[in-house]
C-alpha cells in the first residue's frame, strides 16, 4: 500500500505518524507545497499528484490560515478541490491540524480565526478514546473549523473542535506527528516568538516535549492504528 503525505512547508516532518505508517508496510511519498526558498512569499503554484496512485492521503499542518485565500489561495483552493475529489472517490484521508481544516472546507464546513489560539500540551475531551485518546496532545493553532455536514465530531476542548470522522476520513486539530525534533524546527522558523507571545517559555516547552516524547509516540501509534483499522478500513481488525 502507498501513502502520500502533503508537507505544506519545509518544517513539517512526518514524525511518529510516518513512522507508524512505515511500520505497517506503507510505501510513503511526500509532496512539498512551499519550499524553504518560498517561505516568506508562500502564494505559489503547485500541481498535486494523482490521488488515484495512493491508498491514503495525509495532509499535514502549516503556519498559514486554512481560511486565508488571499495569502495562499493559488495552492490552497486547488488543494481543497483535490481533497474533495479524493473523498468523493472514497479515498481515506487523515487530516492533521491545517490538513484537518482543509478537509472541513473541502466537505462544506468552514474555517476561521478562533477567539484564542492553543499552543502546547493539552488534553482533549473525547467521545471515542479508542480512536482519539484524551492525550495530552500538542497544539499549535489559532484557527478552528466548523464541522462539515455529515461529519461526526468526536473530540473537543473548550477552545475548539478537535476531531471529526466523515466516511473513511479523520481530521484532528492537534499534532500527533509532533516530536522534539519537529518542535525545534517550528521554534527556529518563527514559532519561538509565537510561544512567547502566548505567555509561554519555548525552552521549557521543548524540554516538556522531550519528557513527553515516549508516551506521546505511543498515543500516536494507537491513533494511527485505529484510523487505519476502524476508519479507513485499510488494516484488518486484530
**Predicted confidence (pLDDT) per residue in 41-92, tens digit:** 999 999 999 999 999 999 999 999 999 999 999 999 999 999 999 999 999 9
The domain segmentation of the chain, as residue ranges, is 2-231
CA distance 105 to 195: 27
Secondary structure (DSSP) of 154-191: EEE-SSSEEEEEETTEEEESS-TT--HHHHHHHIIIII
CA distance 40 to 37: 8
Q: Catalytic one among 8, 79, 141, 175?
A: 175
**Three-class secondary structure of residue 136 per DSSP:** coil
Q: Catalytic one among 177, 184, 197, 213?
A: 177
Distances (CA, A) of 67 to 43, 64, 191, 199: 13, 9, 20, 25
Indicate the DSSP class of residue 148: P
**Predicted confidence (pLDDT) per residue in 82-134, tens digit:** 999 999 999 999 999 999 999 999 999 999 999 999 999 999 999 999 999 99
pLDDT at 135 exceeding the cut of 90: yes
Question: Does residue 97 have an active-site annotation?
Answer: yes
Question: Does residue 177 have an active-site annotation?
Answer: yes
Structural fold of domain 2-231: Rossmann fold (3.40.50)
Question: Does residue 175 have an active-site annotation?
Answer: yes
- Spatial contact of 56 and 1, defined as CB atoms under 8 Å apart: yes
Q: Which residues pair with 32 in a beta bridge?
A: 7
pLDDT at 238 exceeding the cut of 80: no
Q: What is the pTM of this model?
A: 0.96
Q: Catalytic one among 8, 79, 97, 141?
A: 97
Q: What are phi and psi of 104, to 5 degrees?
A: -60, -50
Amino acid at each position: 500500500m502507498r501513502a502520500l503525505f502533503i508537507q505544506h512547508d519545509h518544517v513539517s516532518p512526518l514524525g511518529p505518524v510516518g513512522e507508524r505508517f512505515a511500520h505497517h508496510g506503507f510505501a510513503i511519498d511526500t509532496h512539498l507545497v512551499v519550499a524553504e526558498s518560498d517561505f516568506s512569499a508562500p502564494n505559489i503554484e503547485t500541481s498535486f499528484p494523482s490521488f488515484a496512485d495512493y491508498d491514503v492521503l495525509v495532509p499535514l499542518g502549516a503556519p498559514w490560515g486554512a481560511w486565508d485565500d488571499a495569502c495562499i489561495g493559488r495552492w490552497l483552493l486547488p488543494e481543497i478541490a483535490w481533497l474533495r475529489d479524493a473523498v468523493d472517490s472514497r479515498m481515506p484521508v487523515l487530516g492533521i491540524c491545517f490538513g484537518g481544516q482543509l478537509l472541513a472546507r473541502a466537505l462544506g464546513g468552514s474555517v476561521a480565526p478562533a477567539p484564542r489560539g492553543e499552543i502546547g500540551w493539552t488534553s482533549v475531551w473525547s467521545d471515542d478514546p479508542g480512536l482519539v485518546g484524551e492525550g495530552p496532545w500538542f497544539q499549535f493553532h489559532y484557527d478552528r473549523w466548523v464541522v462539515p455536514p455529515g461529519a461526526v465530531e468526536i473530540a473537543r476542548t473548550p477552545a475548539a473542535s478537535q476531531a471529526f470522522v466523515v466516511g473513511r476520513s479523520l481530521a484532528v486539530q492537534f499534532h500527533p506527528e509532533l516530536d522534539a525534533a519537529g518542535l525545534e524546527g517550528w521554534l527556529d522558523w518563527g514559532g519561538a516568538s509565537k510561544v512567547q507571545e502566548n505567555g509561554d517559555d519555548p525552552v521549557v516547552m521543548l524540554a516538556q516535549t522531550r519528557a513527553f516524547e515516549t508516551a506521546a509516540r505511543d498515543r500516536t501509534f494507537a491513533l494511527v492504528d485505529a484510523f487505519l483499522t476502524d476508519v479507513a478500513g485499510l488494516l484488518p481488525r486484530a
